[in-house]
Structure formats: C-alpha cells, structure tokens
A = this chain, B = another copy of it.
C-alpha cells in the first residue's frame, strides 16, 4: 500500500473506461483525501492505543476538559459530532477504566452527567506532551504559510462534501 496511490494515470484510466467527461485531477484529489483520512485514522488509533485510549475516547475526555469536567451525554454527542448511541459506548469503556463516571442529573430526571475523574484528568495530563509533540512532528514538513494554505484548501473541500450526499434534482434522474 504505497502512499502515492492512486496515481493520476490510474484515475484517468478508470474514468476513460466509461467514457466520462471528468477531470482526473479532481477525482485524484477526492480519492487521495479519502485515502489520507483512512490512513491517518488508523495511525491515530495505534497512537492512542499506547495510552489505553482510542481516538473517540480521547476526544470525549478532551471535550470534558473543555467543559470543566462535566457534560451530558447528548451534549457530548453534539460536540463530538457522533450519535448518542456512540457516546453511550464510549462512556461505557471509559467508565470501566475509571477515567469517567456517570451521575444522574439533579434537574432533569431523564438526563445524566458524565464527570471526568481525577484519574481521567491525570491520564490526559500524562499523554499530552507526547500526543501534541507527535502531532507537531507530523505537520513539521509544512512551514506556517503552507499550513495556512492547506487549512484554507481543506476547508473548501470539506464544504464541498455535501455534494456527495445531496439529493439531485429530478430531471438529472
């Protein structure tokens, strides 16, 4: 699984196979971004597994810290951009490890409050230097100006993602 795949030629070949009028370079951007995302996602899981966490669990703990240590499950789901069911699963794992605990809400009988434990806070404190250090190292190949350019371009691509899922008008079938 080399890292510069697919190539422009491969993309062009796949498009031409169906006689489509599509820019191979545009397709290449989309496909490479997907591949990079998948690759990065896997590396991040390996990275966090060293601390007994996963990417999702880390993000939940970080969100908890940002909220001064307390937050409801549905609030977490909103902030993390995942479903409530996923948050339930993440909390379960973190609670088993004692990094977080669940307390019923005083105001709302339906609601719960997820609390960052001292142990959870310590875990975050311990992994922070290495975590952020490695992230910085990964991005080190880009100078600050290039990073700004990348963030701009990436943001514009992200805003184009709805093109993949949007319903099309009827006459386009």
Contact = CB atoms under 8 A, between A and B. Distances in A.
Contacts of A81: 1, 35, 39
11 contacts: A30-B139, A32-B151, A36-B154, A134-B163, A138-B157, A138-B161, A139-B160, A140-B160, A142-B153, A149-B149, A149-B153
A26 to B, nearest CB: 4
Nearest to A168: B130
Interface in A112-168: 125, 128-130, 132-142, 144, 146-151, 153-165, 168
Contact of A23 (B36, B136, B149): B136
B28 A151 contact: yes
B153 A29 contact: no
Kindly report how many copies of this chain are found in the complex they form together. Answer: 2
Interface residues of A, number: 77
A108 interface: no
Interface of A: 1, 3-4, 10, 13-15, 17-18, 20, 22-23, 25-41, 43-44, 46-47, 55, 62, 65-66, 78-81, 125, 128-130, 132-142, 144, 146-151, 153-165, 168
A9 B37 CA distance: 24
A39 to B, nearest CB: 6
Contacts of A47: 164-165
A32 B44 CA distance: 13
Nearest to A124: B18
A80 to B, nearest CB: 8
